[in-house]
Amino acid sequence: MKALVSGDPGLRLDSVAEPEPRPDQALVEVHAIGVNRGELALMGQLPPGSRLGWDVAGTVLRAAADGTGPAAGTRVTALAERDGWAERIALSPTRLTPVPDGMDWPAAAALPVAGLTALYALEYAGPLLGRSVVITGAGGGVGRMLVQLAAAAGAEVIAQVGSPGRAEGLRSLGAHTVETYEEGADGGPVDVLVDSVGGRVLAGAFGRVRPGGTVVCYGNTVREELRLPLDWGHARPGLRIGYLHLFDEVTRRSVARDLASLVRLVAEGRLTPEVAAVGSWSDPEPALDALRQRQANGKVVLTL
Amino acid sequence: MKALVSGDPGLRLDSVAEPEPRPDQALVEVHAIGVNRGELALMGQLPPGSRLGWDVAGTVLRAAADGTGPAAGTRVTALAERDGWAERIALSPTRLTPVPDGMDWPAAAALPVAGLTALYALEYAGPLLGRSVVITGAGGGVGRMLVQLAAAAGAEVIAQVGSPGRAEGLRSLGAHTVETYEEGADGGPVDVLVDSVGGRVLAGAFGRVRPGGTVVCYGNTVREELRLPLDWGHARPGLRIGYLHLFDEVTRRSVARDLASLVRLVAEGRLTPEVAAVGSWSDPEPALDALRQRQANGKVVLTL
């Protein structure tokens, strides 16, 4: 079968061995895959020919032999460890959940990494009803999930973006305020900060966090050290900071249950997987370039 | 009656009005008071003649009129909001607990601020059984409580001090390792870091915190900004950081119950309030100087 593997540079289609499911794994035929910035970073570190792929949407070809999980023919979305960018993949039912017919393949492939990261980040933050939440990097794939989920949880959402062009559609997703990082530096106090940008952007938004507030970080896209002023803690007693990495977090989570929660929120109209670009996996570069250059206002998906 | 008030500089005894207990307050005759570095800092910021005093040990002169709390004649230790450095003080029973006859006044006065800070800091850290815990500032009043309580909770305790002279007695209090900050920079990974020093000392110890580890901060005695390298979070997914300030924390706590826990630990021999210097409140400067110059290996107490 074919799989998308790391090239030199970029990605290329290659022939790989068919997956051989264990008795506790289903065999899934893949129809669409999501591409994440973390995978682009990983691609640069792995030798050419390495397999990748976390976000998968497809159909169960053969249910797990042990009888767990959905039957053959079920449409599913799944979080793969890797190897998801292929025509077929062996997956544990603990990592996938059925999706309704109304959810198209790109939407289903856009959900796992970005949706679970956003869901877990907001769980770190605690109850959000009536709380103000600043979300940095709000224009990207995870950011747009965070805006919607925080709004659905009853928060006052302040969406921060690097440039006005990234702000597109954020108000209609539930953001009460949309601002650039520079504009946000003068903003009022907030209860929660969810950050993926790091460095100066994190430090700037941190200054707005109230005593007893919560900071959740899940990335450092600017690749900068963190500098906080000497009263970083004393000025906000009761402060909590957490750092989340999805593939660490899932070791303590029920992915199937949490994916099902996300699918339910989509079905209820409370969450829309925003797909910024859909490409073909046989010509992935145009879509990947949008992701690399931070021009994708949402997820980037490839169809098979 | 007499009270110790902020002078210009230092402290001086002055005449102040007798306390007038509300119906829900007991009247306590004070026999010993603790002095904390935070109070020295506060003293420099308040106008001369201001009253101070958090740590109080004494005898109930008159029980609260509403019938709550201990009877007249009961020996107690208490956390006062301020005004504790006086011959008598009105105190809510929610802020005090009885102490056994075997606990002398200096020990009872050494307990509230340092003991509660240490107790709450370790609660932030979560379960400690079998975990490794680095404690910075281990030579001081709170540090010595932390070492003992962490050891009593089953942790492997690494006590860090600024200079070898501050290490006195820490092993017998339960520290498995005693090291200077410089020595600690080369140490192995740890599960928990409890820091009161801040700045470079915090950043140095932070580098040893494992993925999924916990950092609890409750001070910044070096008065430096915090600089963490760009992988501060990515290298330790699941990291949690909390900042604790005792007088914020107590608004969510049952102080009387928690003081009673500390008194019980003392009675059981699992916690010793280490009193480094006892002075008279009529001549407090020698004891205060030891505290100012970080020469007090434990608490500084004044008797009335």
Inter-chain CB proximity B243 and A244 less than 8 Å: no
Mean local confidence (pLDDT), B108-118 = 98
Stretch (H or E) spanning B249:
helix B246-249
pLDDT at B258: 98
Does residue B82 sit within a domain? Answer: yes
Please give the radius of gyration of chain A, using alpha carbons only, rounded to the nearest integer: 19
pLDDT at B292: 87
Inter-chain CB proximity A245 and B224 less than 8 Å: no
Mean local confidence (pLDDT), B181-198 = 95
Spell out which residues of chain B touch residue A247, defining contact as CB-CB under 8 Å: 237
Residues B94 and B192 in one domain: no
pLDDT at A120: 98
Residues A162 and A216 in one domain: yes
pLDDT at A29: 98
Residues A138 and A95 in one domain: no
Residues B141 and B86 in one domain: no
Give the span between the Cα atoms of B3 and A38, in whole angstroms.
63
Does residue A212 sit within a domain? Answer: yes
Token pair of A18 as six digits: 């068919």
Contact A30, A80 (CB under 8 A): no
Collect the ranges in chain A with pLDDT lower than 50: none
Mean local confidence (pLDDT), B1-17 = 92
Inter-chain CB proximity A241 and B236 less than 8 Å: no
Nearest Cα neighbor of B271 from B90, B119, B124, B66 is B119
With a CB cutoff of 8 Å and minimum separation 6, the contacts of B25 are: B64, B90, B91, B92, B93
pLDDT at A114: 97
Spell out which residues of chain B touch residue A198, defining contact as CB-CB under 8 Å: 230, 233
Mean local confidence (pLDDT), B218-225 = 94
pLDDT at A10: 83
Distance from CA of A271 to the nearest CA of B (A): 26
Does residue B10 sit within a domain? Answer: yes
Q: What percent of chain B has pLDDT over 70?
A: 100
Distance from CA of B108 to the nearest CA of A (A): 27
Total domains in chain A come to: 2
Distance from CA of A139 to the nearest CA of B (A): 21
Spell out which residues of chain B touch residue A225, defining contact as CB-CB under 8 Å: 227-230, 232
Question: Could you tell me which residues are beta bridge partners of residue A302?
Answer: A33, A279
Stretch (H or E) spanning B27:
strand B26-35
Does residue A261 sit within a domain? Answer: no
Residues B62 and B138 in one domain: no
Contact B230, A225 (CB under 8 A): yes
Residues B35 and B142 in one domain: no
Contact A186, A129 (CB under 8 A): no
Q: State the DSSP code for A164.
A: G
- For the ranges A4-8, B144-148, B262-266, the lowest mean pLDDT is seen at A4-8
Provide DSSP, B150-202. HHHTT-EEEEEESSGGGGTTTTTTT-SEEEEHHHHTT---EEEEEESS-HHHH
Residue B294 in this model has a pLDDT that exceeds 90: no
Give the span between the Cα atoms of B140 and B160, in whole angstroms.
11
The residue whose two tokens read 């002055």 is B14
Residues A84 and A107 in one domain: yes
Mean local confidence (pLDDT), B226-231 = 97
Q: What are B's interface residues with A at a Cβ cutoff of 8 A?
A: 198-199, 211-212, 217, 219-220, 223-234, 236-245, 247-249
Provide DSSP, chain A. -EEEEE-SSSEEEEE-PPP---TT-EEEEEEEEEE-HHHHHHHHHSPTT-B---EEEEEEEE--TTS-SPPTT-EEEEE-SS--SBSEEEE-GGGEEE--TTS-HHHHHHSHHHHHHHHHHHHHH---TT-EEEETTTTSHHHHHHHHHHHHTT-EEEEEESSGGGGTTTTTTT-SEEEEHHHHTT---EEEEEESS-HHHHHHHHTTEEEEEEEEE---TT---EEE-TTTTTTSTT-EEEE--HHHHGGGS-HHHHHHHHHHHHHTTS----EEEEEETTS-HHHHHHHHTT--SSEEEEE-
pLDDT at B10: 83
Bridging pattern class, strands A177-180 and A156-161: parallel
Cα B30–B34–B35 angle (5° rounding)? Answer: 130
Range of the domain at A70: 2-111+273-303
Inter-CA distances, B70 with B59, B63, B64, B123, Å: 10, 6, 8, 27
With a CB cutoff of 8 Å and minimum separation 6, the contacts of A251 are: none
CATH assignment of the domain containing A204: 3.40.50.720
Residues A225 and A298 in one domain: no
Question: Could you tell me which residues are beta bridge partners of residue B280?
Answer: B303
Residues A129 and A95 in one domain: no
Q: Which residues of A146-173 are buried (b: 16+ CB within 10 A; e: fewer)?
A: bbbbbbbbebbbbbbbbeeebbbbbeeb
Q: What value of ipTM does the predicted structure carry?
A: 0.89
Residue B1 in this model has a pLDDT that exceeds 90: yes
Does residue A160 sit within a domain? Answer: yes
Q: How far apart are the first and last CA of chain B?
A: 12
Give the span between the Cα atoms of B207 and B223, in whole angstroms.
20
Residues B76 and B121 in one domain: no
Give the span between the Cα atoms of A188 and A193, in whole angstroms.
12
Our separate counts of H helices and E strands in chain B read: 9, 16
CATH assignment of the domain containing A70: 3.90.180.10
The residue whose two tokens read 């009593």 is B152
Does residue B265 sit within a domain? Answer: no
With a CB cutoff of 8 Å and minimum separation 6, the contacts of A293 are: none
Residues A236 and A122 in one domain: yes
Among chain A residues, the shortest Cα distance to B241 is held by A241
Give the span between the Cα atoms of B275 and B302, in whole angstroms.
10
Does residue A265 sit within a domain? Answer: no
pLDDT band of residue B169 (cuts 50, 70, 90) is very high
Contact B161, B195 (CB under 8 A): no
Inter-CA distances, B281 with A120, B78, B238, B287, B304, Å: 54, 18, 48, 10, 6
Nearest Cβ partner for A220 among B199, B220, B233: B233
Spell out which residues of chain A touch residue B196, defining contact as CB-CB under 8 Å: none
Give the span between the Cα atoms of B156 and B130, in whole angstroms.
7
Inter-chain CB proximity A211 and B237 less than 8 Å: no
Q: State the DSSP code for B136.
A: T
Mean local confidence (pLDDT), B35-41 = 90
Inter-chain CB proximity B243 and A233 less than 8 Å: yes
Residues B151 and B87 in one domain: no
Token pair of B139 as six digits: 């030579």
Give the span between the Cα atoms of B176 and A261, in whole angstroms.
46
pLDDT digits (tens, 9 = 90+) for B41-91: 888 889 999 999 999 999 999 999 999 999 999 999 999 998 999 999 999
Q: What percent of chain B has pLDDT over 90?
A: 90
Provide DSSP, A33-55. EEE-HHHHHHHHHSPTT-B---E
Spell out which residues of chain A touch residue B237, defining contact as CB-CB under 8 Å: 243-245, 247-249
Mean local confidence (pLDDT), B189-199 = 97
pLDDT at A8: 80
**Strand residues in A86-149 grouped as ranges (E):** 88-91, 96-98, 132-135
Does residue B282 sit within a domain? Answer: yes
Mutate to test the interface with B, among A221, A224, A241, A243 (most CBs of B within 10 A): A243
Distance from CA of A262 to the nearest CA of B (A): 22
